[in-house]
Amino acid sequence: MRWLARFIAWATLLSVPSFLLMHPYQDVLARVAMALLDVLRVPVQLELRLQEPFNLGVYAAMCLSSLRSSKRERVRALLIGIPALALFGLATVVVVIGGCRLVTAHQASPEDATARWILSAIETIPWVSAPALWLWLLGRRELPETLVRRSGG
């Protein structure tokens, strides 16, 4: 319960810089993704409206809320995790949009099922990857011993 209270406090605090950085972060993400797709000869025009970088704030809040890990382990998880999640978000946009564009070979309208799938995948993957990375880097120490033992960890 202490972890949850700390997490809510950190997530609330980090939501402010996440909100302030949202548009510049998404613009940079879109420009880099378009440049990479252009190199791959899959030119697209992107205007991203994702919840980036809130997933980075949630991940940071999870690390900062950790109670059983040492300060060194938490800082290490932040230094590894934040850039990894940012790169993973970029890779997600490039792979999903580039792959679907190559497969469909047309510009999909927002009502198209493919376009809805692309948007859902791009929006879901960052929210799943943040807790997954936290579990991988800090979960063994942070989760209750009985839960780790039951899951085979």
> Can you tell me which residue has the tokens 């791959």?
40
User: How far is it, in rounded angstroms, from Cα 6 to Cα 3?
Assistant: 5
User: How far is it, in rounded angstroms, from Cα 109 to Cα 134?
Assistant: 36
Residues 6+ apart with CB under 8 A from 148: 139, 140
What would the mean pLDDT of 96-109 be, rounded to a whole number? 64
What would the mean pLDDT of 102-126 be, rounded to a whole number? 67
> Can you tell me which residue has the tokens 């989760």?
143
Q: Would you place residue 146 in the very low, low, confident or very high pLDDT band (cuts 50, 70, 90)?
A: very low
> Can you tell me which residue has the tokens 């979960």?
139
User: How far is it, in rounded angstroms, from Cα 36 to Cα 89?
Assistant: 13
Q: Which contiguous run of DSSP H or E holds residue 149?
A: helix 145-150
Residues 6+ apart with CB under 8 A from 50: 26, 29, 122, 123, 126
Rounded to 5 degrees, φ, ψ at 48 are -80, 135
pLDDT digits (tens, 9 = 90+) for 10-45: 999 999 999 999 999 988 988 898 898 888 887 777
Rounded to 5 degrees, φ, ψ at 72 are -60, -45
Three-state DSSP at 69 gives coil
pTM strictly above 0.85 = no
User: How far is it, in rounded angstroms, from Cα 53 to Cα 34?
Assistant: 18
